Structure 1
Amino acid sequence: MINVLFVCLGNICRSPMAEAIFQDKVKKSGLDAYLSVDSAGTGNWHIGKRPHEGTVDILEKYQVSHEALLARQVEKKDLKAFDYIIAMDASNLGNLHKLKGQSESGELFRLLDFVPELKTKDVPDPYFTGNFVEVYAMVEKGCANLLTYIKEKESI
């Protein structure tokens, strides 16, 4: 099983959106038996909460399942358990690098590393900007390209 973890700040906007979109793509590709998907936040403010209503609304608009999503905080053990750890922005990535030690095996990326045509490499936080439509488009494209990358790299 290949384990993928999406990480943002509070785990109520960007990373649960990415988890839901990526899981939807995995399922539609028939790869559920090969890929496991989760999300977490670097902060602890929203542990146990459902995604932000803006995230829920945009996922429902595109008919992407979100029922099982609950916020949690990333832990050091996640950095060993997950093969691909995908941060939403440079700050999240920096926090993950601080948490990661020499022995953890997960590869760290930013989601928009997989969308080279975009000028920005950080997914803006719609909790602060309110721009869930723009964020959804960025996350959807990043997830599509990430899935292609993993399929090629892992030969699945």
Structure 2
Amino acid sequence: MRNVQPESEKPTSILFVCHGNICRSPMAEFIMKYLVEEVGLADRFHVESAATSTEEIGNPVYPGTRAVLARLGIDSSGKRARQVTPQDYQDFDLIIGMDSANVKNLRRLFRYDPDHKVSLLLSFAGEDRSIADPWYTDDFEVTYRDIRRGCEALLAALAD
């Protein structure tokens, strides 16, 4: 993968997206922020998250996700779910879906992704599979491990 941002330019902007923006995508947002802070690259990245649906707009991060983040010392209390917009395609360098349905919806919204900004998170870790939604599985640990693996691989690809 190409280095999206030379050091002298604007930060690389990443938007993580899931269905409701209360479980997986905020987990990815805050884990990515944590990882770039940990390696001293926070100034090189701008990270947010959003939803493909309107179901949870304005709601806080789901308690299971908050618990996982709290274990890492991450406070997500100010985060509220928002829906992805067509403008996000202009505003973000990378738009990363948590599952294949998210990616399909994003490509439709963004007129089939002419600039190839949309990806599946685990594709950065060499895996062509979705991250399970803990809203349905109630297994936030499996989701955390997959998101962490995807974010670490994404960071490695971008930091090269």
TM-score if structure 1 supplies the norm length?
0.90
Matched, 1:92 2:92: no
Matched, 1:142 2:142: no
Aligned-partner SS, 1:39: strand
Give distance in 1, aligned partners of 2:87 and 2:99.
21
| Runs of at least 5 residues in structure 2 that lack an aligned partner in the other structure | 1-10
Aligned-partner SS, 2:42: coil
Equivalent residue pairs, number = 150
2:6 match: none
Per-residue deviation, residues 120-145 of structure 1 (Å, max 9, x unmatched): 61001000110101000110111011
Matched, 1:16 2:32: no
2:83 match: 73
Letter in 1 for 2:102: N
Matched, 1:6 2:16: yes
Q: CA RMSD in A?
A: 1.6
Give distance in 2, aligned partners of 1:122 and 1:102.
19
Per-residue deviation, residues 70-114 of structure 1 (Å, max 9, x unmatched): 110000000111001110000000000001137864611101102
Matched, 1:130 2:138: yes
Asked if the contact 2:61–2:77 (Cα under 8 Å) also holds between the matched residues in 1, the reply is no
Aligned-partner SS, 1:149: helix
2:120 match: 110
- 105-114 or 53-62, which deviates more: 105-114
Map 1:15-54 onto structure 2 (within 5 A). Answer: 15-54=25-64
Asked if the contact 1:85–1:109 (Cα under 8 Å) also holds between the matched residues in 2, the reply is yes
Asked if the contact 2:107–2:113 (Cα under 8 Å) also holds between the matched residues in 1, the reply is no
Q: Offset at 1:25?
A: 0.7
Give distance in 1, aligned partners of 2:40 and 2:75.
16
| Runs of at least 5 residues in structure 1 that lack an aligned partner in the other structure | none
Give distance in 1, aligned partners of 2:63 and 2:48.
19
Give distance in 2, aligned partners of 1:71 and 1:102.
24
Letter in 1 for 2:155: L
